[in-house]
Amino acid sequence: MSRLVEFRHVNFRIGTRTILEDVCLEVEEGETVVLLGRSGSGKTTLLKTVNRIVEPTGGSVWFEGKATSEWDAIQLRRRIGYVIQDAGLFPHNTVEQNVGLVPRLEGWGPARIEIRVRELLKMAGLAQEIYGTRYPRELSGGERQRVGIARALAADPPLLLLDEPFAALDPVTRYEMQQEFLRLRDSLKKTALFVTHDIREALLLGTRIALLKDGRLEIVARASEFESASTPEARAFLATLETHAGK
């Protein structure tokens, strides 16, 4: 296995406020590393340094063995799938157009795009005859997120960044989407960085969990070992599980 992403002493400051401080983390190919933390812990900012939506003020981020600052930002982003909470679909484009966006930007021919879109919609569990020509506003939250994931996978990027993708879904749909994510990840062998504030989701989806507290990495542990972690923030998160289990 080789290293796909590496954070080297990443810092991010806005004025005098420190958002990220000295974050070091390596992501191996095939892993799903969950960035877990409270709101304001810096987990989303850290995620965004990978595709240069945010440029770190100190340290560096490496992707495929090259510092992201050495990458052309556009080329870098097209090699990294990105999924956000409300999917961020283009409201004026149909499902097919949304899914075919990156291939279109990459200059694929129409026939090749059409084949790819069909493949992706099938993979995401959406019947093309029903959903292909719909607009995002005609979809449910779960369906929109399926389209969002299909769009992120379109150009077959080696890495997926997911920023609380299922946080706005109802619990049942969320559970279904989590299972779907596991299925896709295992069949496509994608590497993923997944931001969440939900410890249950972190334990379910992560091969490793990186816990952030006030912009610092408090602990990085395999999902199976995280439950016995003893740092204060880890205990605080684990306590939310116990209240349920204790009932």
Partner 1 sequence: MLASEILSALLEHLWLVSISVGAAIAISAPVAVVLTGRAHLRRWTLGVVNVIQTIPSLALFGFLIPIPFIGGVGKRTTIIALTLYALLPILRNAVVGIMGVDAGVRESALAMGMTRTQILMKVELPLAFPTILAGVRIATVATIGTATIAAAIGGGGLGTFVFRGIAMADSKVILAGAIPAAVMAIAADEVLGWFERRVSFLS
The residues binding partner 1 (CB under 8 A) are 51, 53, 74-78, 80, 82, 84-92, 101-102, 105, 148, 151, 161
Q: Name which of 87 and 121 has its Cβ closer to partner 1.
A: 87
Written as six digits, the tokens of 20 are 């990220």
Quote the least distance from Cβ 124 to partner 1, whole Å. 16
Quote the least distance from Cβ 159 to partner 1, whole Å. 12
Q: Name which of 10 and 89 has its Cβ closer to partner 1.
A: 89
What distance in Å separates the CA atoms of residue 30 and residue 160, rounded to the nearest whole number?
11
Written as six digits, the tokens of 108 are 């694929």
DSSP run (H or E) holding 139: none
DSSP run (H or E) holding 191: strand 191-196
Q: Name which of 91 and 246 has its Cβ closer to partner 1.
A: 91
Quote the least distance from Cβ 64 to partner 1, whole Å. 15
Which 3 state secondary structure label does DSSP give 155? coil
DSSP one-letter code for 54: S
Quote the least distance from Cβ 165 to partner 1, whole Å. 12
Contact (Cβ atoms closer than 8 angstroms) between residue 157 and residue 79: yes
Quote the least distance from Cβ 89 to partner 1, whole Å. 7
Instruction: Count CB-CB contacts under 10 A for residue 168.
Output: 15
